[in-house]
Amino acid sequence: MRWKTIISAFVAAVLAGAAHAETFNFVALGDTAYNLPRDAPVYDALIERINKARPAFSIHVGDTWGAMACTEESHRYVLRQFAKFDHPVVYTPGDNEWTDCRKPEILEAYHRYVVGKATPQDMGLLLPARTFDGAFSNYGYADPLSGLTLIRRLYFGKPESLGQRPMPLTRQTDVTPAVETAENTRWQKGGVVFATLSVPGSANGFTLNDEAQAREAIARNRANVDWIKATFAEAKAKNAKAVVLSLQAGLFVDGRGGDFTGKAIRGGSDGPFYWIVYALRDEAAKFGKPVLLINGDYHDLVIDRPFMVSQGESKPPLYANITRLQVYGAPELKAVQVTVDTESPWVFSFQPLYN
């Protein structure tokens, strides 16, 4: 009986270990279908290809359209597209969906101008945007705060993902009711903690020209930093093997970051992304295990380690545990399949996914 007990315990331990070391795939994509209606069948084919890959879920890092009016009708179209994914889809908003929204009449005039059919009335609408006063007054832009409120209502009204088979998500507003960032979400899979951050391109929504927008950006930036800290705290509490963070904005530009980061931070040390980079860098360093940062915005596939700072040949580099995946974007409507294997020291591997 004693040997049977030992063998049973050993088998149970092996099975438990195998379950904890689950290998799975997910898909990352963004900056999709900029040129409608031309891109619609290409995007549909990409969704079909993603479905055939049978990922555990997909993450869309924003910019669901190029230059469309930011109306509820446009968002309903995007929701119908997300409903074509036969698995959970987690979405984080991009700048095209709210910070960069133009007024519908400006967009219509611009589209006619591009194809050479602009009327005198169209030019009368477009020309003020080329002046200082027009630019300084945000002429031609729709109200971004109303746009963000609409996004939160349509996409994040429930604590679950999108897609045909929604999965539960923890929204930041579920655990911190004082904030408004319902789009900041978190979930777990196979010993890995995943989270999204509300960080769009185009200066992260910061502006000096509108007090209400500036207040919103400051509050959201603080909420994002808190969510980064909370995510790594959750990962430590759960003894997670890795962390994945997804946002829309590209945080780095060409150039050296000195001793702070390997690559230069977009906007510099006084810019709109500095505190996000700082929080990610330090929390990931304290975590010490693999961290994957996923972003879009730049429409170009990049897999690198932009946080890594070399200490020469005699010491290991700093922040080398943070890998960045920057996804494809229009006109290349492609996705990236990420394989997660927590038994491997690098955890993440990548494969392009397209027709």
Tokens of 62: 């924003």
Give the global pTM. 0.92
> Which domains occur in the chain, in start order?
20-101+143-353 (3.60.21.10), 103-141 (no CATH)
Please name the residues in contact with 302: beta carbons below 8 A apart, sequence gap of 6 or more: 324, 325, 326
**Nearest one of 244, 289, 300, 305 to 59, comparing CA atoms:** 244
Q: How far apart are CA 114 and CA 10, in angstroms?
A: 69
SS3 73: helix
CB 94 within 8 A of CB 70: no
Q: How far apart are CA 12 and CA 127, in angstroms?
A: 72
Q: How far apart are CA 325 and CA 292, in angstroms?
A: 7
- In tens digits, the chain (355 residues) has pLDDT values of 444 443 444 344 444 443 356 899 999 999 999 988 999 999 999 999 999 999 999 999 999 999 899 999 999 999 999 999 999 999 999 999 999 999 999 888 888 998 898 899 989 999 998 999 999 999 999 999 999 999 999 999 999 999 999 999 999 999 999 999 999 999 999 999 999 999 999 899 999 999 999 999 999 999 999 999 999 999 999 999 999 999 999 999 999 998 999 999 999 999 999 999 999 999 999 999 999 999 999 999 999 999 999 998 899 999 999 999 999 999 999 999 999 999 999 999 999 999 8
